[in-house]
Amino acid sequence: MAGDGGGPDPTGGSVEAELHSTARINALSDGVFAIILTILVLELKVPPHLPHKSLLSAVAELRPTVIAWVISFLITGMYWVGHRDILARVRSANRDLVWLNLLFLLPCALIPFAASILGEYPGDPKSVQIYGGVVTLAALMRLVLYIYVVRRPALLWPGALDDKAAQGIALVLLPIVVYLVAIGVAKASPTAGAILFLTVPAIYFIAVTVARDRGGPHSEADEFS
């Protein structure tokens, strides 16, 4: 019997393996990001009755909402790609990683709310600052998650870590810098702040590409999509 210590464990270690598997972390995270992207597009609603205005003028009124949607879709996609890059290294998850992942998803889940404020009040500096606060918090939690992972080789697949983690930290920090600049300029120009948000995915992609080209054959940037 199993309790006698003379036979094999009837669970075959499956409970412990399940607890340390990253499969459910990835499944939950992918589901959350899918819901975020779906909720974002639900904000795009054409008014149902147009007795005093043309369809084109009504659609023109949606322009701030469309811009907020484009910004948020790209930033959310950037976070999903970054999350995939981090978790692809992980072979075995522990309790701390599970909770850090949840804390990363928390501000990400607020992006649709922040996007609705940005779309509804495009000329208000506070809307840009609120949006910037949400995406900055998400970026900070991504940074914490990244640092936690790269400092724990025991959790990673063999060969998933090299001595150039500082390069990866700099890449993860880059969006935070742009967000803080956008928050700072929003008081003088909310439009400029929103444009800076829009440029973040492009700046990040270019930075990763340049880091790959200049980082040599084993650049940390190779682990970034």
Q: What is the pLDDT, as a whole number, of residue 225?
A: 74
Q: Measured on CA atoms in the order 158, 151, 200, 103, is the torsion positive or negative?
A: positive
Contact of 175 with 204, CB cutoff 8 Å:
yes
Query: How far apart (Å, rounded) are the C-alpha atoms in residues 114 and 107?
Result: 10
Q: What is the pLDDT, as a whole number, of residue 4?
A: 47
Q: Show pLDDT as tens, one digit a residue, over the chain (225 residues).
A: 444 444 444 444 576 666 778 999 999 999 999 999 999 998 887 766 666 667 777 777 788 999 999 999 999 999 999 999 999 989 999 999 999 999 999 999 999 999 999 999 999 999 999 999 999 999 999 999 999 998 888 898 887 665 678 888 999 999 999 999 999 999 999 999 999 999 999 999 999 999 888 866 566 767 787
Stated pTM of the model: 0.85
Closest C-alpha to 146, from 123, 125, 166, 124: 166
Q: How far apart are the first and last CA of the chain?
A: 50
Residue holding tokens 């600049």?
Answer: 181
Say which CATH class 2-223 falls into.
Answer: mainly alpha
Which one-letter DSSP state was computed for residue 157? P
Q: What is the pLDDT, as a whole number, of residue 57?
A: 75
Q: What is the pLDDT, as a whole number, of residue 189?
A: 96
56 contacts: CB under 8 Å, gap ≥ 6 = none
Closest C-alpha to 124, from 181, 190, 198, 197: 190
Q: What is the pLDDT, as a whole number, of residue 9?
A: 44
Q: What is the pLDDT, as a whole number, of residue 103?
A: 97
Q: What is the pLDDT, as a whole number, of residue 1?
A: 43
Query: How far apart (Å, rounded) are the C-alpha atoms in residues 149 and 93?
Result: 10
* Domain map (residue ranges) of the chain: 2-223
Q: What is the pLDDT, as a whole number, of residue 161?
A: 65
